Amino acid sequence: MPDNDMQTDSLAIANRVRNLMERHGVTKRAQASELSRILNLSFSAASRKMKGQLPWDLKQLGSVATHFGETPGVLVESNVDLEESITGEGMLMVSPRPLPCSVWIGDELTGGRSADLVAIQSRGAWQIYPAEIAPAGRIFNVLSVEIRPNLPQLEKPSIAVLDDDIDTHAANNVCDYLNDHGLNATPFYDLLSFREGLKNTTFDAFIIDWLINDDTAEAAIVDIRAAENPSAPIYLLTGQLKSGKARVDDIARVVKQFGCKWIEKPVRMPILFSEISNELGRSAS
């Protein structure tokens, strides 16, 4: 399926999910949080799904509909054939390797009838073939196939890392560790690029050096608490207490006012990663 078609389908489904939630009293501002809870996704992944920026699979649509006491058909496009079809997960049998997919299965093809794509059930799973190479057996018409090869990567929790230490590439080093451990971290080295990133991306957590370009990060924290995910955990880093550049009273006030967590440099990455993982786990439960 071409990318633009997939984006169109994802947005159409997102609109139906939004309408479903509104019918059940979930306000627009709370919908991403509700979806995050239902599907056990990070807030950023749920937010992107609600904007049509991430694809949906059949299992997710079923979970959302069932949660609100409705059938999955209300979230599938208004097409009589699709509404009456069998839905499931399968493998699209293409070279060089089969691809996992979601599939809508139509009627059994008998009497010499064929189609571009056909499905064969093998050991309880659907295998999808171009009709000309399908093995012998009972074949079914394939109404629609959705391939999701990159979905796990896109749904990783998104972390913003802001640190102005260009000499040691501090932000990149933190991001490398987090990315190697299953997160999706993005480095920023100044407030301007950070604020631009905050406008365009929904982050699940923030790691921020307290002193940025001879100023404190308080203004950036204010921006975070006014952004799309205002309850995202914020981890404040500093190694300037002994030098007097960072004032304990200022940090304590911001930690209390904005609900931040404070970690002293040098950062011990295994501990920071554990803190973030535990916090995101609590948020999703």
- Read off the tokens for 65: 């509909």
With CA atoms as reference, report the closest residue to 184 among 163, 209, 202, 210: 202
Rounded distance between C-alpha atoms, residue 164 and residue 85, angstroms: 55
Domain with CATH 3.40.50.2300 in the chain: 156-284
- Write down the CATH number for the domain with range 3-74: 1.10.260.40
CB 22 within 8 A of CB 30: no
- Distance (Å, whole) CA 22 – CA 134: 44
pLDDT tens digits along 155-184 = 688 999 999 998 889 999 999 999 888 888
What are the helix (H) ranges across the chain?
3-23, 31-39, 43-50, 58-67, 80-83, 151-154, 170-180, 191-200, 218-225, 248-258, 269-284
The owner of tokens 């995101």 is 280
- Phi/psi of residue 125, each to 5°? -120, 150
CATH superfamily of the 156-284 domain: Response regulator (3.40.50.2300)
pLDDT tens digits, one per residue of 210-225 = 988 888 999 999 999 9
- DSSP assignment string, 174-187: HHHHHHHTT-EEEE
Give the residue-averaged pLDDT of 246-272: 91
**pLDDT-based confidence at 234, cuts 50/70/90?**
very high
The fraction of the chain above a pLDDT of 90, given in percent, is: 38
In this predicted model, what pLDDT tens digit does every residue of 7-46 receive, in sequence order?
447 888 899 999 999 999 999 989 999 999 999 899 999 9
Residue 57 token pair: 């699979």
Residues spanned by CATH 1.10.260.40 within the chain? 3-74
Lowest-pLDDT choice from 77-81, 106-110, 133-137, 195-199: 77-81
Residues 210, 162 contacting (CB under 8 angstroms): no
